[in-house]
Each structure stands twice: as C-alpha cells, then as structure tokens.
Chains A and B, each alone.
Chain A
C-alpha cells in the first residue's frame, strides 16, 4: 500500500465516524417506529429530506441558524408525522404483523414518490446547501482535521441517542413504549392505550428524521431525491445494530460510516456501497440478532 494512503486512514476514519453518526440518527427513528408499530416506513428518508428543506428555508428566509432552528424543525416534522399517521398509517394498525410490514412498505413507497415530486414542484430539483459563518471552521487535533459543523452534528446526534435512552428508561411513557415493543397484547392488558403509543412513537420517529435532515443539510446538501439513499442506509444500520437496542443502532451507523469511508480510500470509491452491504451480510450470517440486539427478538 502506498504511504500516502496509510497516512490518510486516520483522517478518513474520523470523517467516516462523524458521517456514521448521521446514519445512526437516521436509523434511530426508523428503528423506533418499526420496533413499536411494526410499520416499515420506507418514506422515512423523505421525512429526513423535508427536515433538511425546513432547515434550509428557515435559514434562507429568516436567517435562523441550522442548530438554532432545531426546535422549530422538530415541531414541523412532528406535525407532518401526526398528519401522515392519522391520514394513512392508522389504517394499518389492526393488520397482523406480516401484512403490516408489507402494506406499510407499499404505502411508504407511494408516499416517498409523492413527497419527492412535491419537493421538485415546490423547490425545484436543485441541490441546496447551507453556508454559515462557521461552516469552514476546522479544529485540528494530532494532525487530524475535525470540521466544526460535522463535530457539532455528531454531538447533536449523540445527544438525541442519550435523550431517547433516558426517556425510554426513566419515564412512564417510555416504559410503556418498551413494554409495547416486547409484547403489545400484554402491554394493553396493563391498561396501556396501544394506539396512543403507536401515534406517539410515529411522531417521535418523524421528529428524529427531521433532526437528521437538518444535520444532513449542513454537512452535505439537500435535494428532492435524497430520501431513498437515507432510507436504505437506515435500513442497513437498523439490521446491523439489532432491533430493540438504540445504542446498537447508533454504533451500527458509526461502523457503517467508518467502513465506507476507509474502504473508499483503500479500495476505491466505487466499492463503498458494496462494502457496506458485505458488512451487512456478515452480520446477518454470524450475528443475526444484530451487534447489540438481544437474542429473543
């Protein structure tokens, strides 16, 4: 191996880890919704896309920074999640698990087409990015560059993971969600209103997609067709990390990001998607419950 490649590995690893946190965050929402409702919402990436556009427009129109506008972003995506659930997904609550997954996939594909085209219609197909005063700031440590924006995005994603874990462990609502994930029928026998838990989880999943979208819009850019890419990444990461463990999901995201980044350097950029999928297959073969998933699920 050439020396310059060897020298670039640590730098690429860091970039990969920072991007991987975004994969993890994107997968967090998808995994939460799937775990609770067994809805496989393949339009999750489109929610992320809308989150990205929300951040872009709030910044362009009112000059509110992408990190400052996060609460507003969460609010917007929660409302969109609420409407989508009440309009579409609530109809599939009563189905058995298998038809639920199939039907929500179909509805999700349709929804993603509609949202993509709506985005083109409203905002054109152009790539949009955000450049703030601090966009080009870089911290250097041991000769490795840490772009400030990506570092901050990593921090936000990490805070989301911690907050979600605390919420699920410490609050009554969080415990009701975990109980529903394990056994919805037993949970309903505790007096838990399953429909409320479903609605709440779906809205929370949409809000998480919104945050992920905001971070993507700062780190990369947004366009109407970015959704499917993120849905696929999130799906891979969800299985990689294991269902039922959000920490596992996050670690899975980072692992995928790091692997992609290093392989595109060592083997070549054309293979980065392939290597991610090979990793995915290896985990499925040797550890089907996922990296940190529990055996029973």
Chain B
C-alpha cells in the first residue's frame, strides 16, 4: 500500500534520513520506533509531503507522492495525526472534526463519519460545543485522532499518540488504535514508547540516526538484545 524506497531527506544542509526504506501493507498496523531525533517524525513529513525529499521514491497505491502537494496527498487517503495533536484550540470540538472532513470526498459522508468518531470517542460527543483549547491532554489526543479519521483515510499516520499521557491513558490509547486498525484502517505508528508500540503492531521498524537498523515482528524485536538494552532497560 505504502512504500518508501531509499529516501534521503534534508533540513537545509542537514541530512536527516539516510536511505530509509519501509513498507506498509493494507490492513497492517506498523510501528516505527526509535529514540528522540532518530528521524521518525521526518519520515512522516516525507510521506505527507510537508518535507520534500531529493532522492528516493514514495509510492502510495501506485501514486508517486513526491510529485503531489500536501492537500492532494490527504485526498488520496492518507491522514496524519501530528505530534502533540496540533488541534485548532480556538475552535470548537465540532469545528475541529468538521475540518477533518474538508476534502470533497469526505465532506459528503460527514455526518456518518461524525457518528463513527463519536462511537469510538463518546467523550468528544459530550464536549462537541466546547472550545478545543479547554480539553484535557487525553481528550486533545482523542480529538486529534478523531479529526484525522473524519477524512475517511485508508492510511492513518500517528505521531507519538501516547506523548504526554498518563500511563493508564497510554494503555487505553493503544487499545483504541488497535480497534481503529481492526475496523479496516491501515496504521503507521511512530512511537518512543517502544514496548507498547512493539506489542501492538503487527510489524515494526527500528530507526536510529536517520537509518533503519532493524525490522521484524514485535516479538522478534523485543527479544533483540540491543533493543532490550537500549529501550527497555
């Protein structure tokens, strides 16, 4: 479904990704884990077109994404939950969700998508008229995910969904992500919470210093000595 092939990406003169290749198949929940500054978010920015890359190819269902603009890529069916959620805090919860259905394809089925999001996150329905800036950390993250689902994505990119959440909420968050995935949305998950991510995902990639250094099933990676010592203590 999504294929990154030998990507090099730069911030100005600084090279952030070195020959990154990875693949996500339809229906999968794939995790990309690694330490802070390893290139996880950069990889997502390359996929969504926010960061243009000078070499390598990104293909999504036979579309070459390197030639597409950010909003076109969303229309193709890729939706990203950016790090920290980045909800529109000056707008109401409902307005945030409506904006999630901005692309013409999603706008038609807006009411239906809204119902579905409220089923997954009943809390958002209770707070729909509240200003998004007044939500708690967990609710903001729910809103960010709900907003991303409103565009009816085929592929959902999640950037650190557990960031800043209380431990009990982290567990819930991962259960919700698994639930969303079971309902037919392919998920690429970027996480620093390595153990949780590896346990949830079907397959995982490990990224360090802008290079993919390992891949496999969660169990394989969890038993990897270097990963155990580096991330799990």
Contacts and interface: CB of A to CB of B under 8 A. Distances in A.
B90 A189 contact: no
A270 interface: no
A189 B88 contact: no
A189 B99 contact: no
Interface in B97-114: 98-100, 102-103, 106-107
B82 A191 contact: no
Nearest to A294: B90
Interface stretch (B3-11, B72-80, B186-194, B207-215): B72-80
Given A175-B98, A175-B99, A186 B90 contact: no
A190 B96 CA distance: 10
A32 to B, nearest CB: 15
A192 B102 contact: yes
Given A178-B91, A191-B151, A194-B71, A186 B102 contact: no
A9 to B, nearest CB: 38
Contacts of B107: 172
Given A178-B90, A183-B88, A185-B86, A193 B151 contact: no
A192 B86 contact: no
Contacts of B133: 296
Contacts of B38: none
Contacts of B87: 186
Contacts of A192: 71, 99, 102
A188 interface: yes
A176 interface: yes
B71 A182 contact: no
B91 A189 contact: no
A182 B91 contact: yes
Contacts of A190: 74, 99-100, 102-103, 147, 151
Interface residues of B, number: 27
B40 to A, nearest CB: 16
A176 B89 CA distance: 14
B74 A189 contact: yes
Contact of B71 (A172, A178, A183, A188): A188
Contacts of B100: 190
B134 interface: no
B196 interface: no
A276 interface: no
Interface string A177-207: 0110011011111111110000000000000
A244 interface: yes
A186 B45 CA distance: 12
Nearest to A182: B88
B84 to A, nearest CB: 10
Given A190-B151, A193-B71, A194-B71, A182 B102 contact: no
Contacts of A179: 88, 91, 99
A191 B74 contact: yes
Contacts of B102: 172, 176, 190-192
B204 interface: no
B175 interface: no
A175 B90 contact: no
B48 interface: yes
B70 A188 contact: yes
Contacts of A188: 50, 70-71, 74
A179 to B, nearest CB: 5
B171 interface: no
B28 interface: no
Contacts of B89: 182, 296
A10 to B, nearest CB: 38
Interface in A257-297: 294, 296
Q: 5 nearest interchain CB pairs?
A: A191-B74, A191-B103, A186-B86, A188-B70, A193-B71
18 contacts: A172-B107, A175-B95, A175-B99, A176-B99, A178-B90, A179-B88, A183-B86, A188-B50, A188-B70, A189-B70, A189-B80, A190-B147, A191-B74, A192-B71, A192-B99, A194-B70, A194-B71, A296-B133
Given A188-B74, A191-B103, A191-B106, 13 more contacts: A175-B98, A179-B88, A182-B88, A182-B90, A185-B82, A186-B82, A187-B88, A189-B79, A190-B74, A190-B103, A192-B71, A194-B70, A296-B89
